[in-house]
Chain A
Amino acid sequence: MLAALYSMMPLIWAVASGLRPGAEIFRYLSPLTIWSLLPRHPTLANLHVLWSGPFARAMANSIFVAGTTVVVGLLLCSTAAFALAVLRFPGKNAVFAIMVVSFLIPFDSIAVPLSSLFRGFHLDNTYTGLVLPGLGNGLAVFLLRQFFLGIPGVLSEAAMVDGLGWWGIYTRIYLPLSRPALIGAGLILFVFQWQAYLWPLLIAPAPNVHVVAIAIANFAGEFQVDYGEMFAATSFAALVPMLIMLFFQRYFAASLATSGSKE
């Protein structure tokens, strides 16, 4: 309860602030009264501005970019993890090391040279340019590989006897057994894109391809920040992932043990 409170309080305050007129936000910070948490003069003006402004577009962009990244990224990362966990081939350890090192690299500090490479291929201000860097995620590969290692090898040997190829083993045995790990890897891929700030700033500054983090930061103008609109936008930015996660909790709870594949 306390933990949930700790994670919720700042967000509740942000939601409440999103319903305040801009000038009221810092008025009731201290001393603590009921108005510190609830809007004294509730208004929907901020929400109205959001949906008539560029924020709606940014929201759609972010959902598309994150969604594409999760779907394509899961395919890329799970196939690689499958190869690293199940198949035998020379140089396996080297490839695994490459995957591990790749997620140790601070992406933000290589973003500048990478963005100029992307511009050379005219990927600036495109969805492709936004999605690509999120696809190959060493951390997701690592997570999935660890999970695949736990699936008994006898299963694939039996399947092979039944005439299933590697692709069949991957799609019919490993993927269905790995739902929790796939959700975890999907979360990694999703959060990478949802949190991305510097990369979209460099590669997609045109308003029609703005993502949510940029659109929210744009409420901070040079002379003043419209905190009311910023917090209203933040509430929405948190709402979408919340709904998605609530939906997936269902699958998450279905443990691997109950699927009967575990020794």
Chain B
Amino acid sequence: MADGGRRRPPRLGRRQGEWLAAAGFLAPALLAVVVLRLWPTLQAALVAFGVGLSKGPSLANFRFLFADPEFTGSLLTTALYSLLVNPIQIALALALAVLLNRALPGVGLWRTLVLLPVAVPQVVSAVIWGVAMRPDGPLNALFQACGFAQQPFLTSPRQALGSIIIIVSWIGVGYWMTFLIAGMKDIPTQYYEAAAIDGANAWQRFWKITLPLLRRPLTFVLVADTVSNFLVFAPVQVLTKGGPQGSTNLVMNEIFTRAFDQGDTAGAAAATTILVLVVVAVVTIQFRLMLRKDDFS
């Protein structure tokens, strides 16, 4: 390579410099990510497949998991949960972002207040909501005061997952809203000014300008929100332990139970492997749907 540089020194030199610069810019983060994320995951996968055991690698752990109704049930619960929670959170975050992107008085304070729940450790916000949703708790007292029927919330297999969704959305919506507001700040105001001259109403402006130009931040929020919802488990662990009747047994709770209560390292590793594969598949599909070719540069 070095002697080939003689013919067109400036260009090749810059190219080589670019390669080296890239290595320098990337190395620290890449090292951190590989050592602290990918390597342990690879090891978990090896454990899951039984590599290194005297019996040799096998699918035994996976066969065991798929024969266990607790595990397959948790996959179904997670699928249902994801289909509900992600659209709800993103719609709410988007609505709030539109609302709080205006020049309202004290808008910074409002934004901060809506964002605040993410600053409370989840272990604690789960406790707060658990008290609020007690059958004899303040939410039911409020319902009673308004003349509504009392609700069982977390104690009913039909309402528990919905209750978890409310809690998780309380934590997440303000967080995702923040990223959407950042995206909206990037939309040049001229577009709106032009639309106003054309007589477009607020609804049209949202559909024709805001939404299309928000594609990149929206993709980011969609992917990141989906991933984070796949990995939720603190509220479940604190409030329902997966019950009543398995109705809130999300797959992360299942992994946690296997790893820390049952001490089934291999089973937990196999479940983790499955989860990572599912998330990779889902996120790949989301990227394909949301992004155009040029977004990958």
A and B in direct contact, judged by CB atoms within 8 A: yes
List chain A positions with a Cβ less than 8 A from chain B: 3-4, 6-8, 10-11, 13-14, 26, 29-32, 36, 75-77, 79-80, 82-85, 87-90, 92-93, 95, 98-110, 112-114, 117, 132-133, 135-136, 138-139, 141-143, 146, 149-150, 165-167, 170, 180-181, 183-184, 187, 191, 194-195, 197, 212-213, 216-217, 230-231, 234, 237-238, 240-242, 245-246, 249-250, 252-253, 255-257, 262
Instruction: Please give me the 8 A-B residue pairs with the lowest Cβ-Cβ distance, nearest first.
Output: A136-B32, A249-B108, A241-B119, A80-B29, A255-B185, A30-B141, A83-B25, A213-B121
Known: A6-B170, A249-B108. A105 touches B37 (CB 8 A): yes
* Interface contact A242-B116, CB-CB below 8 Å: yes
Residues of B close to A216: CB separation below 8 A: 121, 123-124
* Interface contact B188-A257, CB-CB below 8 Å: yes
Main DSSP-derived SS at the B contact region: helix
Q: Which residue of B lies closest to A5 (CB)?
A: B113
Known: A136-B29, A257-B188. A181 touches B182 (CB 8 A): yes
In the complex, A4 Cα to B122 Cα: how many Å?
19
A-B residue pairs in contact (CB < 8 Å), sample of 13: A7-B113, A10-B170, A32-B138, A92-B22, A109-B256, A112-B265, A132-B36, A135-B32, A136-B30, A166-B21, A191-B119, A195-B118, A245-B112
Residues of B close to A10: CB separation below 8 A: 117, 125, 128-129, 132, 170
Shortest Cβ gap from A97 to chain B (Å): 10
Residues of A close to B31: CB separation below 8 A: 136
Q: A83-B25, A238-B116, A249-B108 are in contact. List 15 more A-B contacts (CB 8 A).
A: A29-B131, A31-B145, A36-B141, A89-B19, A95-B30, A110-B44, A112-B259, A113-B43, A136-B28, A142-B220, A142-B223, A191-B118, A212-B121, A216-B124, A245-B119
* Interface contact A85-B186, CB-CB below 8 Å: no
* Interface contact B110-A257, CB-CB below 8 Å: no
In the complex, A13 Cα to B130 Cα: how many Å?
13
Range of interface residues on B (Cβ < 8 Å): 35 or more
* Interface contact B37-A107, CB-CB below 8 Å: yes
Residues of B close to A75: CB separation below 8 A: 28
* Interface contact A191-B231, CB-CB below 8 Å: no
Main DSSP-derived SS at the A contact region: helix
* Interface contact A237-B25, CB-CB below 8 Å: no
B234 contacts A by Cβ under 8 Å:
yes
* Interface contact A187-B38, CB-CB below 8 Å: no
- B40 CB contact (under 8 Å) in A30, A117, A230: A117
Shortest Cβ gap from A141 to chain B (Å): 6
Stretch at the interface among B62-70, B157-165, B272-280: B272-280
Q: Which residue of A lies closest to B34 (CB)?
A: A98
* Interface contact B30-A98, CB-CB below 8 Å: yes
* Interface contact B123-A197, CB-CB below 8 Å: yes
0/1 interface trace, chain B 162-199, chain A, CB 8 Å (1 if under): 00000000100111001101100111110000000000
In the complex, A143 Cα to B178 Cα: how many Å?
13
B88 contacts A by Cβ under 8 Å:
no
CB-contacts of B70-103 with A (<8 A)? 92, 96, 99
* Interface contact B220-A146, CB-CB below 8 Å: yes
* Interface contact A104-B227, CB-CB below 8 Å: yes
In the complex, A230 Cα to B181 Cα: how many Å?
33
Q: Which residue of A lies closest to B187 (CB)?
A: A257
* Interface contact A98-B36, CB-CB below 8 Å: no
* Interface contact A255-B132, CB-CB below 8 Å: no
Q: Which residue of B lies closest to A26 (CB)?
A: B131
Residues of B close to A143: CB separation below 8 A: 179, 220
B33 contacts A by Cβ under 8 Å:
yes
Shortest Cβ gap from B56 to chain A (Å): 21
Residues of B close to A77: CB separation below 8 A: 29
